[in-house]
Amino acid sequence: MNDKSFDTDNPVFRAALARGLVSRRSAMMGAAGVSAAAFLAACGSAGKNPATGGGASGTVAPAKTAAAAQDMSDTEKVVNWSNWTEYIDTSDDGKSRPTLDAFQKKTGIKVTYTEDYLDNDEFYAKVRPLLEGGKDTGRDVWCSTDWMVARLIRQGYVQKLDLANIPNAGNLDDSLKNVEFDPGRLYSLPWQSGFAGIGYNLKATGGKKIESITQLLTDPALKGKVTLLTEMRDTVGLVMMEQGKKIDSFTDADFQAAIDMIQQAKDSGQILRFTGNEYTEGLAKGDIAACVAWTGDVVQLQFDDPNIQYALPEKGFTLWSDNFVIPALAKHKKNAEKLIDYYYDPAVMAQVAAFVNYIAPVKGTAEELVKIDPELGKNPLIVPTADVLSRAQVFRGLSTVEETKYNKLFSALTTA
């Protein structure tokens, strides 16, 4: 790659990543002189607002009002948090989560932390019947990817936040306060962000670097050893960017052109299969030579095998965010808001960032991170360079009609 900041042989870079860049899964969100958070917001605020049903005007249609349960926070000092796997700081022995332990000691609120958020659609399928039936999900807070947040808001399945209980919300980067899927941040606050790109095994590629989507889909040396993700926004988004399109403002024709390119690669035998993050095993073994991959998965593999490499395509790559939301009928809303407030303390968020190595949305985190380890501030996955951010793009919000149509087109590829 041309960007020296992503030189994986750089000892500073590898030392920082060794602190625990985590495995990722089906998720995705949204120039010199701007912060990572500012870039996210700039991309996320362009295009259509999913809450409107995808209208070009960008006016915000009122979301359905989420049902509220009696808040038991004052009498029941508990909060139930569902999150993705390996997505919080953990002790060296893996037996405790330091920031959570400190929160419980500070507030007296017991946190039941469950790593049962494995995929946006899979998690939605679990909670939707309860939400649709007006029942408590048994969870007080969880972290959904931005496009899923748009859906939850539209359907009235999440509650408005009471910012009086989250004074540290003022530490949210200013530019992130008006993202397209939740203008004014009435229903959500971001947890972490990250990238998706290309992973490859140098042994399986014959020592060849795989740095573009065109190369991935057409290089004869990779035939039958390429996998793409079942996450539509990542796979199709990367192909559209390769074709010179902006994924924050694409058309039906742009989407179809990307589908056609993928179909051609599939028909030619280039593509082995479509996967979730189970590609990691095949990539490590060399059965998969190259794939569309979440960066965290690939970097973890590098510590066991330096032949595993990754690239962020020059023509663009996806950038995603996961966000705190409080579901309808949650029984401990105020406790959940106190939890969010706690993590919006930059000193606390820095402890998480030092472990998970993602982009933090809280102002002041970078400065606190330097206090933990000065070298971490040089890690471009935590504090991305201007060049890296200039190539990152965010998949625009979809209306219900668009989401159904695009998922159908993509599903025909992945299941046939």
Task: Give the pLDDT score at 63.
Answer: 62
pTM attached to this predicted model: 0.75
Distance from C-alpha of 13 to C-alpha of 244, rounded to nearest angstrom: 30
Distance, in Å, from the CA atom of 193 to the CA atom of 367, rounded to the nearest integer, reads 18
- Please, which residues have CB within 8 angstroms of residue 325's CB and are 6 or more apart in sequence? 141, 142, 143, 144, 149, 152, 158, 187, 188
pLDDT tens-digit profile of 277-292?
789 999 999 999 999 9
Give percent of the chain above pLDDT 90.
61
Residue 397 predicted with pLDDT over 60: yes
Give the pLDDT mean for 294-319. 85
Q: Are 318 and 24 in contact (CB under 8 A)?
A: no
